[in-house]
Amino acid sequence: MPILRSSFHPPWYLGNGHLQTILPALLPRRIALTYQRERLELADGDFLDLDWARAGHSRLAILSHGLEGSSSNDCIRGMAAALRAAGWDALAWNFRGCGGEPNRLPRFYHSGETGDLRTVITHAAPAYQTIALVGFSLGGNMTLKYLGEAAAHPTVKAAAALSVPVDLSASARELDRRWGNSIYLRRFMERLTAKINAKAARFPDAIAPIPAEPVRTFAEFDGRYTAPLHGFRDADDYWRRSSARPFLPGIKVPTLLINARNDPFLGPECYPFADAHLNPAFFLETPRSGGHVGFLDLARGLQPWTERRIPEFLAAPGRAA
């Protein structure tokens, strides 16, 4: 029954979920980390940009970012630096179109796209004895789905996922309908609209541009663009088939999911207690606070608690502590 009591205890004045979510964006950190970029060509004619932080270790952590994120996000760079200090090389890969250059095809990425992650793992595995996967938000959903839908690559020995909408429908509902989430929704829609309009200019026969009346919700965006571009019938079909939650029982390697109970992006269905009760490889930690990819406790300045907790778990992934 690997449901864990969390050690995350922020000061009382950092207990608000919105504050935990927004503060890291307002207080950027100086992170001593230099990447080496590699372009990975894909079988369908597209490419992925991989950013490596190597230190000659025999273990590799592969980091997957969130929606409209990239390897340059502070949360990714900070985790890569923390893992490298703990004895891991790190590989932060950019989803299609997220590495600073548009990808070549009309399609881009989505929450359930595990094929690209599988390709990255297969590409990296020959140089390492052990691989761990670390996913943030959308990248966490992708990571958990990869682990549960089929056998993981034999070098993958552990995983951790943070602030994950394991039920995409529930998360979309929270973002679309909760008034307090309007600031996040607007920011996501602005970025996604810009990406779609740029793609429509390059692929006018495949993609219609966003109309003058802006897209305002994930239900509308995913129904109009994400679903048809990636082979789904509609938004509901995309959310159902791409959510990680149905695949959690299939996870076989020790895996930690950390979802704060005050995460403004997550609905009740995103806290899979029953799955953790039934699967001895699936560890669930639900701190009372933390927001969405926040988890600031000021114990080490602006370094989030998760940059200590996740390396700790990966060092001894079978231990429920």
Give the residue numbers annotated as catalytic, written as ranges: 137, 263, 292
Please say whether the beta carbons of 157 and 132 come within 8 A. yes
Task: Quote the CA–CA distance of 249 and 251 in Å, as a whole number.
Answer: 6
Task: Give SS3 for 109.
Answer: coil
- Cβ-contact 256, 285 below 8 angstroms: yes
In whole angstroms, give the CA distance from residue 314 to residue 307. Answer: 11
| Per-state percent for the chain, helix, strand, coil, to nearest 5 | 40, 15, 45
DSSP 132-166: EEEEETHHHHHHHHHHHHSPPPTTEEEEEEES--S
> Measuring CA to CA, which residue among 112, 73, 77, 70 is closest to residue 93?
70
Q: Which helix (H) or strand (E) holds 53?
A: strand 47-53
